[in-house]
Amino acid sequence: MTDQSPSIERNTIDRFTDRVENYIRYRPLYPEKVVELFQNLFGAGRQTIIADIGCGPGHSSIGFLKAGLEVIGVEPNDVMRRAATEFCKDYTRFTVVAGTAENTGLNDHSVDIVLAAQAFHWFDRQRTRSEFERILRKNGWIVLMWNERQLDTTPFLREYEMALKEFGTDYEAVRHDKLGAAELEDFFGGRPETVVFPNVQRLDLEGFLGRAFSSSYVPSQQSEMGKELESKLRKLFDNYQQEGRIEIFYDTKVFYKQY
């Protein structure tokens, strides 16, 4: 099994610490169809325990909690863990623990589904796979999912992508579409099943700027380069907004395999 490129910085735990507020408020959630997939195909129900690895502020957990499932969030960043506790505070079947994908701290064979969402591309894939196998029960499922922003399906999205390429710091290195079929097969130990759901955000100007600056690959909004990017994004919003909002379209990609 191969690991990700050494050009991607491995110390990523604190990467989002100064962006948590924007991350919570403006990152897209996941479609309800994802929860239905877990229920109908994986047989997820009241007795199912999901480990949400790299859960961040709880965006990948909240849909399952609303459906009455039990979720254990595993998150190394202290600020993100506090955010997840607050975001999911209305759900008694949620707990969050300090841990990493490579060392979750969970017991052997203790969960039915191991889920890794938007954070997966930061993981050491070889060590992560071994850890997932350790905590997964027999006949359990490993699931990867993320929202992949469409890059060129509308003129607005094409210009937004150009702006991110112009101002992004390590944008090209950390995109999810850098993970191809070969890397996924390597991680899963065979070809995973795949399903794609449509997803969309409709954002006002504040939301659009917050979404952009929630990303770790853009400069800080307070920096000189960040101010230049904000000016460009404001013009982009003005050019394409309709009734005070723009639309960002995503493909929610889900990859899964039973073990």
| pLDDT tens readout for residues 163-208 | 999 998 766 655 555 678 999 999 999 999 999 999 999 999 999 9
Q: What number is the average pLDDT over the span 151-171?
A: 91
* Res 36 pLDDT > 90: yes
Least confident of 17-21, 106-110, 154-158, 245-249: 17-21
In this prediction, residue 132 has a pLDDT band, given cuts at 50, 70 and 90, of very high
What pLDDT shows up at residue 140?
97
What pLDDT shows up at residue 178?
64
For residue 148, what is the enclosing H or E element?
strand 136-149
pLDDT tens sequence across 240-250: 999 999 999 99
Gap between the Cα atoms of 199 and 31, Å rounded: 6
Distances (CA, A) of 103 to 10, 54, 123, 143: 15, 11, 11, 18
pTM above 0.85, yes or no: yes
Other beta carbons within 10 angstroms of residue 153's beta carbon come to 11
What pLDDT shows up at residue 5?
36
What pLDDT shows up at residue 19?
63
Gap between the Cα atoms of 137 and 107, Å rounded: 10
Yes or no: say if 27 and 119 are a contact pair by the CB < 8 Å rule.
no
Q: What percent of the chain is modeled with pLDDT above 70?
A: 89
pLDDT tens sequence across 53-91: 999 999 999 999 999 999 999 999 999 999 999 999 999
What pLDDT shows up at residue 24?
85
In this prediction, residue 146 has a pLDDT band, given cuts at 50, 70 and 90, of very high
Other beta carbons within 10 angstroms of residue 174's beta carbon come to 19
Other beta carbons within 10 angstroms of residue 228's beta carbon come to 14
Sequence-distant (≥ 6) Cβ neighbours of residue 38 within 8 angstroms:
44, 48, 50, 64, 69, 113, 143
* Res 228 pLDDT > 80: yes
